[in-house]
Amino acid sequence: MAPLRLGSVAPDFSAETTTGPIKFHDFIGDSWAVLFSHPADFTPVCTTELGEVAKLAPQFAKRGVKVIGLSTNDLADHDRWVDDINEVNNVNLAFPIIADKDRDVATLYDMLDSVEHDASNVVNGIPFTVRSVFVIDPAKKIRLILTYPASCGRNFDEILRAIDSLQLSDRQPIATPANWQPGGEVIVHVSVSTEKAKQIFPEVREALPYLRFATLPVEEGEEEK
């Protein structure tokens, strides 16, 4: 299978999840989606990550994003693990977690670690999943891919920030600069002349002929959180 790249259609699949069976494209529907994988149930870093996503669930919902986790255990393990996650993080995890015991979805999305890479993430020669993130848009296109090793928990505020950037750049002819936060200055897209940009944005500041900063109309520049 061709490698998954930005712009690829997210492969469809059927799977058992903690909230019932799904067909992935039907699950996404007209929403955005974040599919994120974990090495295994009952592991410490993953327990903090899933708790964090449960806390941030309203932030994802506000952006029209459905979240769905994946771990390489069965549903019975997932259900017991969710009890631990809820208790230790003081949350009520309600989003689905895919039971990918046979690593079918993990293989489809190339989420498996390499046997040589991290001995702590390989059991009996079988690699577990790494911490993959796929942000998928309503057209089912992959818009962002992250891969973190098992030892490094992800920053889910950064994933929300990146989704804000993606959604904003779908609405406006802009890009976002380093460390951009919602409400901050944006960069006028290279395809837009400075003259045209001055008609679109309230303020345009030309730092270099190819680097034009702009402020957004108030309704776009508002803090999203």
Give the catalytic positions in this structure. 46
CA 68 to mean position of chain CA atoms: 9
Separation CA 174–CA 200 (nearest Å): 11
CB of 159 to ligand BEZ, least distance (A): 17
CB of 59 to ligand BEZ, least distance (A): 23
Site map 179..218 versus ligand BEZ, x via CB under 6 A: ----------------------------------------
Structure tokens at 71: 């771990």
- Could you give the string, one character per residue 119-138, with x where binding to ligand BEZ holds by CB under 6 A and - elsewhere? -xx-----------------
CB closer to ligand BEZ, 105 vs 122: 122
DSSP string, 118-185: -GGGEETTEE-B-EEEEEE-TT-BEEEEEEE-TTS---HHHHHHHHHHHHHHHHSSEE--TT--TTS-
Question: How many chain residues bind ligand BEZ (CB under 6 A)?
Answer: 10
Q: Per-residue DSSP letters for 123-140?
A: ETTEE-B-EEEEEE-TT-
Which residue's CB is nearer to ligand BEZ, number 18 or number 165? 18
Nearer to ligand BEZ, 86 or 169 (CB): 86
Among positions 92-121, residues that touch ligand BEZ (CB under 6 A) are: 120-121
Q: Which is nearer to ligand BEZ, 91 or 150 (CB)?
A: 150
- Rounded to 5 degrees, what are φ and ψ at 148? -115, 150
Q: What is the spatial distance between Cα 195 and Cα 209, in angstroms, rounded to a whole number?
A: 12
| Cα angle value 187/192/195 (rounded, 5°) | 100
Helix (H) / strand (E) containing 99: strand 97-99
Give the separation between CA 33 and CA 138, rounded to whole angstroms: 8
Q: Measured from the CB atom, is 73 or 121 closer to ligand BEZ?
A: 121
Site for ligand BEZ in 15-74 (CB under 6 A): 39-40, 43-46
The β-bridge partners of 145 are: 134
Whole-number minimum distance, CB 167 to ligand BEZ, in Å?
30
Least distance in Å: CB of 119 to ligand BEZ?
A: 10
Q: Which of residues 140-179 bind ligand BEZ (CB under 6 A)?
A: 150-151
Residues that bind ligand BEZ in the complex, under the rule CB under 6 A: 39-40, 43-46, 120-121, 150-151
